[in-house]
């Protein structure tokens, strides 16, 4: 090993250490609020409201969790939220991925119009469309059913745009070779484009899952039966007009982050470099 | 007889549509059908309805009366609408570039880590803010942004006397931007990481052999290669920032005074507190026109800096 | 086999008989237990009606209400407040309620009046929810401050707050929740009415104008001084905790809040709280504000008759009234169930609440048909908020509020 190599290596090690240092600093900023949330879930209300704040509860107590389960049907809401979010996110991908691919790669009449209407759906604030959508859902007779929650959410301009952008940046050459070999566009989509976009699809699925996991206004408006309610609505109902029991709310918030972390663990292997590059080389 | 010639050309043109073309159109129709149907029914139709509503004095319950463009005329002269718009634009200028820069920087740093397990750890950590439920997080940030809260404590260590973030009209929008960047950069990081991973490693090796410095490699290889993702994140965060609602609602409820009342929050209050659904719809359309204008500019400008299909 | 068939027949008969299901919707989660107990009792005494309880969080209650009413399907019985009542009533979204003569006579006119339009009743008032003063007796004792009596004055309150503002074990204890006492909102307005105020909007002939007069300015200054001059209340510079949170944590001596906070104090068993009389301003009779919510029956309800039975039962029947009072909640005919209420809150000086009820005021009761009222009040509140957060001088805030309110009130014509 020459001296030059050794010094290069040392410099590389140094820059790696600097990166880790910087990222760790950032992580603290990210994690502190979480630590606060989790610690508050174990405090008594008096402790939680003390000012200046105290970090650690004097006595770790599970009372907030017990009270949470007494106040709202947590398990039922949790279950409803999990299955509807997973289903909606998956349906999103199933409807959006083919559409995004067609918009990115194929040429057909009305292309701009149809793609434009997907984009338009992102531009108008929901505050003024929510009542018209509600009237439509009522007209269809879906009020207070999971259909009302799921069906209007299947198509997503957001997901289509996200995947469109990824398909567009894929090298054309691979698909072209399929076409030249006599394959159809469909074959190109199934065997080249989709595997290559695994990472983007995983990301889109995750964002959609999170969006649905956290949404409360639409579920609250179209659902009524308490046995159909979702978790964010339950957490919202812990807040009263003039007061909120913060420790109980934090207990609920802490528990409600668990599935999102699990969802992440589930898709994260697709987000990694290996999957994408192998797709490209595939 | 006069029309025979053009008709003949039309027929000829029709005949020229190759079977390949027709197959492509058919496939495309099939692929976009489910999504387009959904968008038409649950987005375009309600959006069209909101356009219709914006031409009425509808309050939400009674029979609407047609008022023409009156709501739009009112909006252009409404001082609260213009101040809401200026708050929104300030917020966009604060949050969008910062968010983009921070998420890109963090993604590049994480991507440059050699140890795979470190990449996994940091990627997970920076994803975390996205997973929390809005209200709970907002309550946390009210504590963090308090005059003697954690943020100012840290600023104090750096010798900076922190402001009263949420209690001051000039600092409340920056505070909301800090919160949004904290909560929103995870999305950018995930997208950038996925994109960075697809940049072929041999390009860097070639550049290194040519003696390129790390920044040059970033500027001339990484950035062009991931430019479609930069465009994507830019557009998504622009759309999100121009419609910013929940962050201001839960953090500051538009205050102090109306200093953090954004357009979306004003629309919300107009529709559900003041019972002016017609006027709210007009405001929403004016916001949408600004947004669509910005999108068109971005879309046109793409060709100058976004590279698709480089390999 | 025969037995099963018979059983089935009996079952189907009994389901046919158990007819009506109605939905009850409220935003007030603090009284969920009481409401559920009431509903259980009602279901028992009315086998032909089954009521379902729905808690719709305050943060989204009005959106849900608007969507449902617009969509033509609604709850059968809903909580309504005075801010939203005029809109729903004027749009024909509420069904008129007919009470029998005896019940009508029993209900105090002052509480039904806000829900009467053209001599017709559209809502049956729930119990009054007055703004009250709470004190932390342990802190009073510790600082040697006398417990307030019926003759308590505003100046005595400030003096007490000064003594109660101190540092203890590194924690800042504050005298009073000044940040909540914005003079145009219900807590602060209680002092404004007590100082002789008569309303923030004045009607002359057929037009309305803002009336932020000398009484308003003077009261506002007094309340604002609690934060910035007397420094006995945490302002936005001091803490992010809200007043009630500091009171709950034992870090605040005096708290001006609504009677509905009683169940919240249960969260801290060590808190030695009690009601205190409202202080008098300038020797005048205190006039605290009451929130006057009501139960309404939406016009879209398919079971109006059953809904009306529930509304009447909940708000006037002796059984329901007694149950509420026993839970420490004021029933509609509060005065008749005083003893139950006092028993539910022993040693909390609860008779004070009753002493002040006859003098209480309903905010803007006479302005309900002003169409832009919610918008005008929002503008006012935003301007005053600038003064309260120390970002504007009070006279400027009042002047600007007046101008903007007048503009809105003019366009309303």
Closest-approach residue (CA) in chain B for C411: B74
User: Distance between terminal CA atoms of chain C?
Assistant: 74
Which residue, among C97, C78, C73, has the nearest Cα to C300 in the 3D structure? C73
Task: Decide if A243 and C244 are in contact by the 8 Å CB cutoff.
Answer: yes
Note the pLDDT tens digit of each residue in A14-39.
888 999 999 999 898 888 888 888 99
Of A95, A103, A231, Cβ closest to residue B34: A95
- Give Cβ neighbours of residue C346 (< 8 Å, ≥ 6 apart): none
Longest dimension (CA), chain A: 78
Residues of chain B with C-beta less than 8 angstroms from the C-beta of C238: 147-148
Scanning chain B, the segments in alpha helix (DSSP H) are 4-16, 19-39, 45-53, 70-77, 79-112, 116-127, 134-144, 150-157, 172-197, 201-209, 214-217, 223-242, 246-251, 263-272, 277-305
Judged by DSSP in three states, C387 sits in helix
- Is the CB of residue B171 less than 8 Å away from at least one CB of chain A? no
pLDDT confidence bin for B29, thresholds 50/70/90: very high
Which residue, among A164, A133, A119, has the nearest Cα to B239 in the 3D structure? A119
Question: pLDDT: is A269 or C39 the higher one?
Answer: C39
Give how far C180 is from chain A: nearest CA, Å: 11
The length of chain A is 282
- Give Cβ neighbours of residue C374 (< 8 Å, ≥ 6 apart): B273, B274, B275, C83
DSSP single-letter state for residue B113 = -
Task: Decide if A49 and C251 are in contact by the 8 Å CB cutoff.
Answer: yes
The length of chain C is 413
Judged by DSSP in three states, C298 sits in strand
Note the pLDDT tens digit of each residue in B7-17.
444 444 444 55
- Give Cβ neighbours of residue B147 (< 8 Å, ≥ 6 apart): B162, B164, B165, B167, C236, C237, C238, C239, C240
Whether residue B256 sits in one domain with residue B168? yes
Task: Report the C-alpha gap between C295 and C310 in whole angstroms.
Answer: 10
Is residue B58 included in any domain, yes or no? no
Task: Decide if C60 and A236 are in contact by the 8 Å CB cutoff.
Answer: yes
What fold does the segment set C130-290+364-411 form as a domain?
D-Maltodextrin-Binding Protein; domain 2 (3.40.190)
Whether residue B83 sits in one domain with residue B21? no
Closest-approach residue (CA) in chain A for C239: A51
If you search the block for the tokens 């002939």, which residue do you land on? C205
* Least confident residue range of A10-19, A117-126, B109-118, C384-393: A10-19
Is the domain spanning A64-281 CATH 1.10.10.10? The answer is: no
Are β-strands C207-210 and C201-204 bridged in parallel, bridged antiparallel, or unpaired? antiparallel
The pLDDT of residue C17 is above 60: no
- Is the CB of residue B50 less than 8 Å away from at least one CB of chain C? no
State the pLDDT at residue A172.
81
State the pLDDT at residue B3.
43
Task: Decide if C55 and A240 are in contact by the 8 Å CB cutoff.
Answer: no
Whether residue B196 sits in one domain with residue B136? yes
User: Quick one: what percent of chain C has pLDDT higher than 90?
Assistant: 65
Average pLDDT over residues C290-303: 92
Is residue B14 included in any domain, yes or no? yes
Task: Report the C-alpha gap between C330 and C341 in whole angstroms.
Answer: 7
Of B59, B168, B274, Cβ closest to residue C391: B168
What are the structure tokens assigned to B17, written together? Answer: 């549509």
DSSP single-letter state for residue C278 = P
Angle, in degrees to the nearest 10, between helices B79-112 and B263-272:
130
What are the structure tokens assigned to C161, written together? Answer: 């707050």
State the pLDDT at residue A8.
67
Task: Report the C-alpha gap between C285 and C277 in whole angstroms.
Answer: 11
Is residue B227 included in any domain, yes or no? yes
From the number of C-beta atoms within 10 Å of its C-beta (0-12, 13-18, 19+), residue A21 rates as: exposed
Note the pLDDT tens digit of each residue in C328-381.
899 998 889 999 999 999 999 999 999 988 899 988 888 877 888 889 999 999
As a whole number, the mean pLDDT across chain B is: 86
C256: part of which helix (H) or strand (E)? strand C252-258
Whether residue B35 sits in one domain with residue B148? no
Question: pLDDT: is B217 or B98 the higher one?
Answer: B98
Domain count, chain B: 2
For chain A, 282 residues long, the average pLDDT of each consecutive 10-residue run is 65 84 90 86 87 84 92 92 95 96 92 94 90 91 93 95 90 81 82 84 92 89 88 86 85 88 81 47 32
State the pLDDT at residue A52.
76
Task: Decide if C62 and B143 are in contact by the 8 Å CB cutoff.
Answer: no
What are the structure tokens assigned to C355, written together? Answer: 């002493």
Average pLDDT over residues C126-134: 93
Mutate to test the interface with B, among A53, A128, A183, A190 (most CBs of B within 10 A): A128
Is the domain spanning C10-128+292-332 CATH 3.40.190.10? The answer is: yes
Task: Report the C-alpha gap between C286 and C353 in whole angstroms.
Answer: 12
The pLDDT of residue B2 is above 60: no
Question: pLDDT: is A271 or B100 the higher one?
Answer: B100
Which residue, among C20, C376, C411, has the nearest Cα to C200 in the 3D structure? C376
Task: Decide if A127 and B245 are in contact by the 8 Å CB cutoff.
Answer: yes
Task: Report the C-alpha gap between A137 and A130 in whole angstroms.
Answer: 10
Give how far A229 is from chain B: nearest CA, Å: 16
Longest dimension (CA), chain C: 86
Give the residues across from C172 on adjacent strands: C167
Question: pLDDT: is C12 or A11 the higher one?
Answer: A11
Judged by DSSP in three states, C254 sits in strand
As a whole number, the mean pLDDT across chain C is: 89
State the pLDDT at residue C379.
93
Asked if residues C388 and C180 have their Cβ atoms less than 8 Å apart, the reply is no
Interior CA angle at C207 toward C206 and C209, to 5°?
A: 150
Whether residue B16 sits in one domain with residue B126? no
DSSP single-letter state for residue C53 = E
State the pLDDT at residue A277.
42
* A&C contacts, CB < 8 Å: 100
Provide the sign of the torsion angle of the four alpha carbons A117, A120, A121, A127, taken in this order.
Answer: negative
Whether residue B137 sits in one domain with residue B8? no
State the pLDDT at residue B100.
96
Of B41, B50, B112, Cβ closest to residue A129: B50
From the number of C-beta atoms within 10 Å of its C-beta (0-12, 13-18, 19+), residue C132 rates as: buried
The pLDDT of residue C195 is above 80: yes
Note the pLDDT tens digit of each residue in B154-213.
888 888 888 888 888 999 999 999 999 988 889 999 999 888 887 877 877 788 788 888
State the pLDDT at residue A5.
66
Task: Report the C-alpha gap between A234 and A216 in whole angstroms.
Answer: 9
Structural domain boundaries, residue B105: 72-305
Average pLDDT over residues B233-254: 91
From the number of C-beta atoms within 10 Å of its C-beta (0-12, 13-18, 19+), residue B308 rates as: middle
C174: part of which helix (H) or strand (E)? strand C171-176
Which residue, among A11, A26, A24, A22, has the nearest Cα to B214 in the 3D structure? A11
Task: Decide if A138 and C270 are in contact by the 8 Å CB cutoff.
Answer: no
Closest-approach residue (CA) in chain C for B255: C382
Whether residue B10 sits in one domain with residue B157? no
């Amino acid at each position: 090993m020459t001296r030059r190599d050794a010094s290069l290596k040392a410099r590389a090690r140094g820059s790696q250490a600097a990166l880790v240092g910087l990222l760790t600093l950032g992580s603290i900023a990210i994690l502190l609020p979480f630590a606060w949330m989790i610690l508050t879930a174990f405090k008594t209300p008096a402790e939680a409201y003390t000012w200046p704040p105290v970090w650690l509860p004097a006595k770790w107590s599970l009372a907030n969790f017990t009270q949470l389960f007494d106040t709202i049907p947590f398990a039922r809401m949790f279950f409803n939220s999990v299955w509807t979010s997973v289903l909606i996110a998956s349906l999103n991908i199933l409807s959006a991925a083919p559409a995004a691919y067609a918009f990115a790669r194929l040429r057909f009449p009305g292309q701009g119009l149809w793609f434009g209407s997907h984009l338009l759906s992102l531009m108008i604030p929901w505050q003024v469309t929510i009542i018209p959508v509600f009237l439509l859902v009522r007209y269809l007779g879906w009020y207070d059913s999971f259909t009302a929650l799921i069906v209007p959410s299947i198509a997503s301009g957001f997901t289509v745009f996200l995947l469109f952008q990824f398909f567009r940046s894929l090298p054309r050459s691979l698909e072209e070779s399929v076409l030249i070999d006599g394959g159809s566009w469909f074959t190109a989509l199934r065997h080249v484009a989709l595997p290559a976009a695994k990472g983007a699809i995983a990301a889109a699925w995750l964002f959609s899952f999170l969006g649905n996991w956290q949404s409360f206004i639409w579920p609250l408006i179209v659902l009524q039966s308490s046995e159909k309610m979702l978790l964010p609505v339950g957490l919202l109902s812990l807040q009263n007009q003039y007061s909120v029991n913060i420790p109980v709310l934090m207990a609920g918030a802490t528990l409600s982050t668990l599935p999102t972390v699990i969802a992440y663990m589930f898709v994260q292997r697709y987000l990694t470099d290996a999957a994408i590059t192998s797709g490209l080389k595939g | 007889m006069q029309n025979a010639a053009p008709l003949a050309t039309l027929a000829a043109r029709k005949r020229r549509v190759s079977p390949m073309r027709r197959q492509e159109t058919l496939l495309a129709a099939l692929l976009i059908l489910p999504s387009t149907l959904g968008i038409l029914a649950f987005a375009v139709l309600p959006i069209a309805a909101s356009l219709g509503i914006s031409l009425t004095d509808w309050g939400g319950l009674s029979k609407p009366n047609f008022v023409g463009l009156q709501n739009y005329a009112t909006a252009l002269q409404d001082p609260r609408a213009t101040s809401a718009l200026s708050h929104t634009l300030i917020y966009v200028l604060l949050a969008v570039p910062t968010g983009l820069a921070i998420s890109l920087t963090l993604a590049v740093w994480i991507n440059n880590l050699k140890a795979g397990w470190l990449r996994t750890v940091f990627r997970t950590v920076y994803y975390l803010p996205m997973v929390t439920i809005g209200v709970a997080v907002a309550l946390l940030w009210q504590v963090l942004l308090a005059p003697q809260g954690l943020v100012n404590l840290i600023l104090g260590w750096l010798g900076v006397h922190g402001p009263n973030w949420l209690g001051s009209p000039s600092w409340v929008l920056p505070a909301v931007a800090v919160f949004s960047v904290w909560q929103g950069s995870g999305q950018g990081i995930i997208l950038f990481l996925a994109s960075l991973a697809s940049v072929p490693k041999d390009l860097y090796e070639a550049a290194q052999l040519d003696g390129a410095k790390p920044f040059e490699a970033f500027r001339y290889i990484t950035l062009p290669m991931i430019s479609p993702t930069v465009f994507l994140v830019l557009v998504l965060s622009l759309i999100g920032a121009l419609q910013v609602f929940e962050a201001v609602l839960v953090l500051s409820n538009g205050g102090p005074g109306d200093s953090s009342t954004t357009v979306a929050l004003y629309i919300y209050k107009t529709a559900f507190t003041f019972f002016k659904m017609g006027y709210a719809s007009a405001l929403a359309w004016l916001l949408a026109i600004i947004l669509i204008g910005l999108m068109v500019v971005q879309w046109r400008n793409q060709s100058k800096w976004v590279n698709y299909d480089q390999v | 086999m025969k037995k099963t068939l018979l059983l089935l027949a009996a079952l189907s008969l009994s389901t046919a008989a158990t007819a009506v299901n109605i939905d009850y919707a409220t935003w007030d989660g603090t009284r969920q237990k009481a409401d559920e107990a009431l509903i259980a009792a009602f279901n028992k005494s009315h086998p032909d009606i089954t009521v379902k309880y729905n808690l719709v969080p305050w943060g989204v209650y009005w959106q849900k209400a608007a969507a449902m009413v617009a969509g033509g399907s609604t709850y059968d019985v809903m909580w309504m407040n005075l801010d939203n009542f005029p809109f729903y009533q004027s749009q024909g979204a509420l069904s008129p309620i007919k009470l029998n003569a005896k019940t009508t006579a029993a209900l105090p006119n002052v509480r039904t009046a806000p829900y009467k339009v053209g001599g017709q009743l559209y809502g049956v008032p729930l119990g009054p929810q007055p703004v009250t003063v709470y004190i932390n007796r342990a802190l009073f004792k510790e600082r040697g401050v006398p417990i307030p009596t019926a003759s308590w004055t505003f100046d005595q309150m400030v003096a007490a707050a000064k003594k109660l503002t101190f540092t203890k074990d590194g924690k800042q204890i504050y005298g009073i929740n000044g940040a909540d006492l914005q003079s145009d909102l219900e807590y602060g307005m209680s002092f404004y009415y007590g100082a002789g105020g008569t309303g923030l909007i004045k009607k002359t002939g057929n037009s309305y104008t803002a009336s932020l007069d000398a009484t308003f300015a003077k009261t506002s200054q007094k309340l604002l001084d609690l934060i910035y001059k007397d420094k006995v209340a945490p302002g936005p510079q001091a803490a992010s905790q809200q007043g009630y949170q500091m009171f709950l944590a034992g870090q605040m001596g005096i708290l001006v809040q609504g009677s509905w906070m009683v169940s919240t104090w249960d969260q801290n068993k060590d808190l030695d709280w009690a009601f205190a009389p409202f202080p008098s301003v300038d020797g005048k009779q205190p006039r605290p504000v009451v929130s006057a919510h009501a139960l309404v029956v939406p016009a879209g309800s398919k079971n109006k008759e059953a809904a009306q039975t529930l509304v009447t039962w909940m708000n006037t029947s002796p059984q329901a009234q007694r149950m509420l009072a026993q839970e420490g909640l004021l029933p509609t005919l509060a005065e008749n169930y005083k003893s139950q209420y006092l028993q539910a809150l022993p040693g909390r000086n609860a008779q004070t609440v009753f002493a002040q009820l006859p003098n209480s005021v309903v905010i803007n009761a006479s302005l309900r048909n002003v169409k832009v009222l919610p918008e005008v009040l929002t503008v006012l509140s935003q301007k005053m908020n600038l003064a309260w957060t120390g970002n504007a001088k009070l006279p400027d805030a009042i002047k600007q509020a007046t101008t903007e309110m007048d503009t809105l009130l003019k366009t309303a014509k």
